[in-house]
Structure 1
């Protein structure tokens, strides 16, 4: 998966952090894409409390996400998120 992060500098903010998911047809058929989306949404919901509320995060699933184990998806999202947030904070400075 590929994780992108952006620091939201607007003064008007509703909740946060916010996640967006991109699961293209390359991942699989409709049933597979929805299953991957549900799995990623579940993982993201567990990470919300650990993140700052000013973050906007986009997670793009690769075709390998369809057959990946849950632990692998969690590891990939955590490492991708850490890298993306660090880059977003650095770019903001």
Structure 2
């Protein structure tokens, strides 16, 4: 299971990753990844973000389209467990990863979701993410 310290919980981090990140799609998942911003401290010399080390960090988007609450929570648990197994595949340890589950993710096993997540994290587009300054 992914530890709480490895989870994205701030809306601004989700938005930044979805807007500026690299996107890779699979059959049941869409994975967005973005390097952690280096805007700390901000120009006014005020902390604009919490100093973060020890990533990568995971954010999940499992909408009501996936199913009722029990189904959504089951999919989220499977994705967190899959990320814990595959987080070493991230291009850089300082990476935000947001996973959006499609409706069909509810029908997949933990193993299938882990394979899709592993494939997305090792995709060549995300590999170039580690080369960014």
- The two structures have a TM-score, normalised by structure 2, of 0.61
Structure 1 distance, partners of 2:106, 2:34, is 26
Question: Which residue number corresponds to residue 109 of structure 2?
Answer: 69
Q: 2:93 aligns with which of 34, 46, 53?
A: 53
Question: Which residue number corresponds to residue 80 of structure 1?
Answer: 120
Q: Is the 8 A contact 1:4 1:59 kept in 2?
A: yes
SS at match of 1:74: helix
Q: 2:69 aligns with which of 24, 30, 40?
A: 30
Q: Could you tell me how far 1:72 is from its partner in structure 2?
A: 1.6
Instruction: Name the structure with the higher helix share.
Output: 1
Q: Which has the larger radius of gyration?
A: 2
Structure 2 distance, partners of 1:23, 1:31, is 12
Structure 2 distance, partners of 1:88, 1:49, is 14
CA RMSD after TM alignment: 2.0
Residue by residue over 1:29-82, the C-alpha shift from the partner in whole angstroms, topping out at 9 and shown as x without a partner, is 000000000000011111223433211100000111101122221111111122
Q: Could you tell me how far 1:22 is from its partner in structure 2?
A: 0.5
Q: Could you tell me how far 1:88 is from its partner in structure 2?
A: 3.0
Whether 2:53 is the aligned partner of 1:14: answer yes
Q: Could you tell me how far 1:87 is from its partner in structure 2?
A: 4.9
Question: Which residue number corresponds to residue 4 of structure 1?
Answer: 32
- The two structures have a TM-score, normalised by structure 1, of 0.84
**5+ residue gaps in structure 1?**
none
